[in-house]
Amino acid sequence: MSRSPFSGLTHAELGEMLSRLRFGVGASDLHGSLTGYLCGGGSADAQSWLAALKLESDPTLEPLYPDLARVYEDCAAALRDPECRFEPLLPGADSALNARADALVEWCRGFLGGLGLAGIGPRRGLSADATEILRDFGTIAATRFEYADAEEDETALAEVIEFVRVGVLLLHTEFSAGARATLH
């Protein structure tokens, strides 16, 4: 979970980079925003995606930009991956449960915001599954997790993360099909 099959950066490394860049956004939020933007058909490339997400860049920190371009490229590749290996970029299993759960909440908030920036909002024509997934993502984004039993909580978090992972892939497929249908 800490390093996707595509990303050369861990959640912690991206968080540290974002802190140095003073973007005012965390790693989970940024990755969720980028994923939502791409999933929703947002038009950007490895050089322009920060502006598309309304993040202002600092020219004095340009040596870090190739790593940020790689985040974009890795996320886009993961969404297109025929083996469905996409993973939300979250803290690793060695991180505290509450930190991982809070990061998932931030990731879902970012994802929904990224969809909005891509122009996806409440609309007709979405499948019942897509509508339910978006509603569930909204619920997760508004959640404050409570913890009682470490083993059960670990299992529950793993199930929610898998739901989010699969949900993203289903939404990406549906939004991509809708974009292709409007082009023809």
Q: What is the pTM of this model?
A: 0.88
Spatial separation of the C-alpha atoms in residues 78 and 142, rounded to whole Å: 26
pLDDT at 152: 86
Spatial separation of the C-alpha atoms in residues 57 and 52, rounded to whole Å: 11
Encode the chain (184 residues) as per-residue pLDDT tens digits.
Answer: 444 555 578 999 999 988 888 888 999 999 999 999 999 998 888 778 877 887 776 667 777 778 888 889 999 999 999 999 999 999 999 999 999 999 999 999 999 999 999 988 766 678 899 999 999 999 999 988 777 777 888 999 999 999 999 999 999 999 988 655 443 3
pLDDT in tens, 42-53: 888 877 887 788
Calculate the alpha carbon distances from 83 to 38, 55, 65, 87, 156 in Å: 18, 31, 28, 12, 24
Q: Are 101 and 148 in contact (CB under 8 A)?
A: no
Spatial separation of the C-alpha atoms in residues 75 and 80, rounded to whole Å: 9
pLDDT in tens, 78-105: 999 999 999 999 999 999 999 999 999 9
Superfamily (CATH) of domain 11-183? YgfB uncharacterised protein family PF03695 (1.20.120.740)
DSSP alpha helix (H) spans, 122-149: 128-141
